[in-house]
Amino acid sequence: MAERSMRERMLAGEPYIADDPEIARDSARAMRLTHAINLADPTDRDTLRALFTELLGAFGEGAEIRPPFRCDYGFQTTFGARSFANFGLVVLDVAAVTVGDDVKLGPNVQLLTATHPLEPGPRRDKWEAAEPITIGDNVWLGGGVIVCPGVTIGENTVVGAGSVVVASLPANVVAVGAPAKVIRQL
């Protein structure tokens, strides 16, 4: 059996070396497209839709992401129908990032799938991994929310501005804080 490429390892959620040439090509593609997105006329919705459709794994009908926008690869991210992201969305989509339908993301939200070894040697050798993020339908993340690797946020949940979500949240709750804690049922 042939050994997997670093890109195949990354896509399978296994540890990989980040500066692999194949991965670098995927990253360069995303950088070119995000650069075009961030330079586009922000009122030209057709151009922005075409660029996001090319960049992302899926970009739902009626979805909108306001530039500036940054991501690692793009093709690992799906953005649901009628979902909206305000200015400054950052998606480190080393693993899959799934944003459901009718989601609202405040300004400067960060969806971070990347993980790094705690041990200094492997980290110095550029080993990385990632865990997927899933944002359910009709979720609202307030401004500046950070969602960490491996988190799932259940449908209809609201996360208060500035919160850091380090563990999965159930559906139909309000959560706030760093780390985010459920404070009420909806």
Residue 36 to residue 182: CA distance in whole angstroms? 39
Q: Which of 7, 15, 116, 132 is catalytic?
A: 116
| 151 close to 168: Cβ distance less than 8 angstroms | yes
Q: Count the Cβ atoms, other than its own, within 10 Å of residue 129.
A: 18
Query: What H or E segment, with its residue span, contains residue 152?
Result: strand 152-153
| 22 close to 38: Cβ distance less than 8 angstroms | no
The DSSP bridge partners found for residue 38 are: none
Residue 25 to residue 19: CA distance in whole angstroms? 10
CA-to-CA separations, 75 to 45, 47, 93, in angstroms, rounded: 20, 18, 8
35 has catalytic annotation = no
Percentages (nearest 5) of helix, strand, coil residues in the chain: 20, 30, 50
Q: Give the catalytic positions in this structure.
A: 116
